[in-house]
Chains A and B, each alone.
Chain A
Amino acid sequence: MGVEQKLGTMGIVTTSLENVVNWARTNSMWPMLFGLACCAIEMMGAQAASYDMSRFGMELMRASPRQSDLMIVAGRVSRKMAPVLRQLYDQMPSPKWVIAMGDCAACGGIFNNYAILQGVDEIVPVDIYVAGCPPRPEGLIHGIITLHEKVKTEKLKEWA
């Protein structure tokens, strides 16, 4: 694109630091396990051999918030679970993103009652909402790729 065309095959690429950092962030996201209900089954399906989320650099699901930078909230969040979810989110190192997977995590879904949070965005900031009850693995992968597009446009100083 730039100087490499003029210099021939010297194995040198020039780009901005932001692009490199965002490229690294998108292609090795470590999602945290947060399977709370039936959406978790589809999340497992998205990881297993048929759909194979590791094509997009996500083969590691971490059980520890300290080692992850993406929280996939898969399922309805009860009000008793909400402080736990927020604490785990706070334990994740920055930069971090949240995907609300499924209708329940996005808006409460069919559970409009006292026990269920009406959307996980009441307690953590959500980047991507994946609709569906539950969404198919393709839906989740589409959400993740949409998140990748979002991350690629981020500026370094937003997380500084």
Chain B
Amino acid sequence: MAIDPKLAACIASLQERFGCRQEEFRGEITLYLTPEMIISALTALRDEFGFEFLVDVTAVDYWLNQEPRFQVVYHLRSIAQGWIICLRVPVTTVPPALPTAEKVYPSANWYEREVWDLFGIRFEGHSDLRRIVLPYDWAGHPLRKDYPLGYEEVQFTFNQEEIMVHKPHPKS
């Protein structure tokens, strides 16, 4: 799939300004940015290149495979031009933290809460960084690769009684 020449010009201009690495997969461009650049890059994409829609903010945990461990992924879309672009930010700080994109795209509010909830990446300057999908008193961040996967051992005939002893069973 060929890249739109106007989009290519936009990406060239961004690369010149931020010096970021670029990857292409099936016509979708991914730019690798540093945490300091992300807010100015998002502002530039919104104001100068017409990316008016923040599709998604999510994260990936490359625990034990890659350093730094977390990458935060922003998907932007330009509805007028039909473009889509992906920004990736490796999170270098420990504990992981990034500046919030809420001031540029207000819709980032809930996405960043979700990333905080499930990956434990803080977004500095966020107006309301609470958990969004899990209960407020939850301990840990379940989409991290070091979070225990299962909840309960699978029951078979040989261990069923042992497991049932530990299960809470209300009488009324």
Contacts and interface: CB of A to CB of B under 8 A. Distances in A.
B150 A112 contact: yes
Contacts of B154: 112
Nearest to A83: B135
B169 to A, nearest CB: 6
Interface in B119-172: 133-135, 142, 147-152, 154-155, 167-172
Given A80-B134, A80-B135, A114-B142, A125 B149 contact: no
B170 A79 contact: no
Interface in A61-109: 79-80, 83, 107-108
| B interface majority secondary structure | loop
Contact of A123 (B133, B134, B152, B170): B170
A108 B155 CA distance: 11
Contacts, number: 41
Contact of A118 (B135, B142, B151, B171): B151
A121 B163 CA distance: 14
Interface string A105-139: 00110001111101101111100000000000000
B151 A122 contact: no
A112 B134 CA distance: 17
A113 B171 CA distance: 25
Question: Chain B interface residue count: which class?
Answer: 10 to 19
A112 B151 contact: yes
22 contacts: A79-B135, A80-B133, A80-B135, A107-B155, A112-B150, A112-B152, A112-B154, A113-B149, A113-B150, A114-B142, A114-B147, A114-B151, A118-B151, A118-B152, A121-B170, A122-B167, A122-B169, A122-B170, A123-B168, A124-B170, A125-B171, A125-B172
Contacts of A124: 170
Nearest to A113: B151
Chain B CB count within 10 A is highest, among A80, A113, A114, for A114
A160 to B, nearest CB: 13
Contacts of B168: 122-123
A113 B155 CA distance: 14
B160 to A, nearest CB: 11
B110 to A, nearest CB: 16
A115 B135 contact: no
